[in-house]
Chains A and B, each alone.
Chain A
Amino acid sequence: MTGVIVTTINLTAIYALVALGVSLTWSGLGFLNLSTGAMYAGAAYGAWLVATNISSNVVVVLLGGVIAGAALGALICLTVFLPLDGKPNWELRTLTATLALSFVGTNIYLWQFGPQFKQFDPLFAFIREFRIGETLVQPSKTGTVIATGILVAIILAFISYSRIGLGVRALTQSVEGAALVGIDRRTTAFAILGVSGAFIGLAAVLLGQIYFVEPNSGYSPMIKGLIVALLGGLGSLRGAVIAAFLVAFAEALTLQYLGGAWVLITLFVLIAVVLIIRPRGIAGVLEGTRA
């Protein structure tokens, strides 16, 4: 059981990162970024290039992933958000455009890097492994939790104290209100998508410690990140963290007792049940009061 708990905490950190990226984009800009998976793989390749060409120092590689993710986020802003902002049929068109870009991205990776798996050297080898009861806690898991904590703290500080962060928060609360007090949606959009990308990029490097990197490696984390974001109630950051924990726990239990092939099946049963009972997810009540 301790094994399940350790896995749960590790996965919670990673899924919360992806889901925060998705959720922030939704609440701030009102679209679902279906190129999250391609951003994830892109950031992983970015970090891998940094690790093989520049330095395999932990901080450098993590920064590489975060910066690559943020850059891809800015690219999405430039190519999808800015051209479509304010245009009719917005919801379906943003969905389609991000889907198209993810298709393009995945195939460019396949073209450039080939289908072979890329592997990171263990980043957290300097952390000593330790035991809780009978369960061995690997360095990668400790490192994941610490690195997530640090990035989330930095970004929360950025959102709470900087002027752009203030704009981001205003935009997630009320589009009209933000416009009234003179917040520029288009500038803030870069911040929002950049931060989303940074979260996704960090998740990519951290999960790259466990799974290999390949062109399609972003698909499964994206689906899980979307599940978490929807389960939490799109737009709610608190809900996303709670849902990340729930999903991670379900996955850890499934891994332990049923086997890896059943993970997605369990998760979809979970999401179907929760969404049928509460169509707006865990934090749906918060959403409702916002209108």
Chain B
Amino acid sequence: MLHYAGLAVLFVVALAVPFVFGTLSILGSMAVFLLLLSWSISWRRQGGDTLAGVRDRSAWLFWGMAAVIAILIPIIAGTSYFLAVMVTFLIYLSWNVMWGLVLGTAGLQSFATVAVAGISAYVAGYLSIELGKTGNLSCVGGGERILGIPVFEWWVAIPVAVVVGLIVGFIISLPAIRLRGIYFALLTIGLVELARAYVVQDKCNFGGGQGLYGASSFIPESIAGSLAGYQIAYVAAAGLAVLALIIYWRVNYGRLGLLLRTARESEPVAEVLGTDVVRARLWVFLISSAVLGGAGGFYIAYYGSISPSFFNFSTVLFLFAMIMIGGINSPRGILVGTMLLMYVDKRFVDVDPPEARYVFIGLLLFVVTIVARDGLIAIPDQIRRRRGARGTDAEGDPPEDVGAIEQEAHMPPGSRPEPR
């Protein structure tokens, strides 16, 4: 009971923070609160391990609080500016959650997230501008209508973006079946760069360096830019994030997630158990790409514009820092990491040398990576494992830095069994 009382006090303190330090700080205070809440849940749990994909009994407490916070935010901090920040945050969250599925659950070192979302957004935006009403494209007719209705409104653009995401995901997953680890990482980093180089090239269809603008938006024109418009956007973005989380949940804690984690830990074991590893990886890639595509479509339907800087390496790095700081293997970690970095990014947006903010984010990512094996969220598990290594853990988890783990970590790629 004392435990819950302590958490309640913490929550009240976190709620009071924005009244003292300004609306933006609610993002930071809630991130810290959720982190502490998750720590307390993990710490009190008997046995089990977030890393192994075991579901927490008290997970409902965490997600319940997250939902409460999501409802409280527009009430406490309902300015247009803050809601705009929140919409961006929720879009990032839905991308990061899907990235977590690929990078964490499946253990595929993919950096293609930004490419899939961006390409989908670009194609949806292009079609919306070309076939829809408005646009900045030089060589496009525009304004085609069927029976007097503009044919490419946002509600067509988003499903099309899902399909584009699926197609791009399928194309990327082909080499993923053969390439491992680092090789795949580089190929996907390259893909992002390739996408950027292409859209800069193609002035005619993708607007070149300027990008696209004037795509159809789901916010009615009459209230665009007003508080009501941002409130609609907030609710829609929250829906998107919840959808992404539900899909994450279904995959990660379902059969597919179990297969993928087994294959991640040991491919031979998974194969001996009769898992079709290739198929499982293909599936997770397709699922996450479809959602990423949809979220990309949401992006263009919210902003109405996109520029090649979307594909900048710094975007990839920023999102990567979010999930790595929070913890790649848990949806709670991804949520907390995304919140925390979003806050840092916005809070220090006008700090004097603007580079200082990035230096800080980089150092934060560096320190967390060195100290925590699996992000901030899994620190209780890490401590428990270390204790286990000293012989107090009944389950007898293997000690952290002994033999097998170390050896496997340093095996050159050739000495691993060749994937088919």
Contact = CB atoms under 8 A, between A and B. Distances in A.
A268 B321 CA distance: 25
A133 interface: no
Contacts of A49: none
B358 A97 contact: no
Nearest to B415: A291
B194 A264 contact: yes
Contacts, number: 155
Contact of A101 (B181, B328, B366, B400): B366
B376 to A, nearest CB: 13
B258 interface: no
B373 A88 contact: yes
Contact of B369 (A32, A93, A104, A287): A93
Interface in B388-420: 400-401, 405-407, 409-416, 418
Interface stretch (B68-76, B184-192, B335-343): B184-192
B209 to A, nearest CB: 11
B175 A86 contact: no
A100 interface: yes
Nearest to B316: A99
Interface stretch (A10-18, A54-62, A106-114, A190-198): A106-114
A201 interface: no
A223 B191 CA distance: 12
Contacts of A163: none
A110 to B, nearest CB: 5
Interface string A102-125: 011001101100000000000000
Contacts of B373: 87-89, 93
Contact of B182 (A32, A93, A100, A290): A32
B356 interface: yes
Given A226-B186, A268-B191, A291-B414, A96 B369 contact: yes
A41 to B, nearest CB: 14
Given A100-B366, A101-B366, A275-B187, A235 B412 contact: yes
A198 B189 CA distance: 25
A276 B174 contact: yes
Interface stretch (B12-20, B126-134, B197-205): B197-205
A89 B382 CA distance: 12
A271 interface: yes
A268 B413 contact: no
B340 to A, nearest CB: 15
Interface in B318-348: 320-321, 324, 328
A24 interface: no
A84 interface: yes
A271 B191 CA distance: 11
B267 interface: no
A290 B412 contact: yes
Contact of A103 (B180, B353, B358): B358
A182 interface: no
B187 A100 contact: no
Given A27-B412, A287-B413, A291-B415, A230 B183 contact: yes
Given A27-B412, A99-B320, A288-B418, A111 B359 contact: yes
B221 interface: no
Given A87-B373, A227-B190, A95 B418 contact: no
Interface in A247-291: 261-262, 264-265, 268, 271-272, 275-276, 279-280, 287-291
A175 interface: yes
A99 B185 CA distance: 12
B290 to A, nearest CB: 23
Given A87-B401, A226-B186, A103 B412 contact: no
B324 A104 contact: no
A91 interface: yes
Given A265-B198, A272-B175, A30 B412 contact: yes
B116 to A, nearest CB: 16
A261 B191 contact: no
Most chain A CB within a 10 A radius of its CB, from B201, B359, B366, B412: B412
Residue among A100, A262, A279, A290 with max Cβ neighbours from chain B (10 Å) = A100
Contacts of B410: 30, 86, 90, 175
A209 B327 CA distance: 43
Nearest to A106: B358
B247 interface: no
Nearest to A236: B414
B178 interface: yes
A36 to B, nearest CB: 12
Contacts of B328: 92
A32 B317 CA distance: 16
Contact of B413 (A223, A226, A265, A280): A280
26 contacts: A79-B370, A80-B370, A84-B370, A87-B373, A91-B182, A96-B324, A97-B370, A99-B365, A100-B362, A101-B362, A103-B358, A103-B361, A107-B359, A110-B355, A111-B353, A227-B190, A230-B186, A234-B413, A235-B414, A262-B201, A264-B197, A268-B190, A268-B193, A275-B187, A276-B178, A280-B413
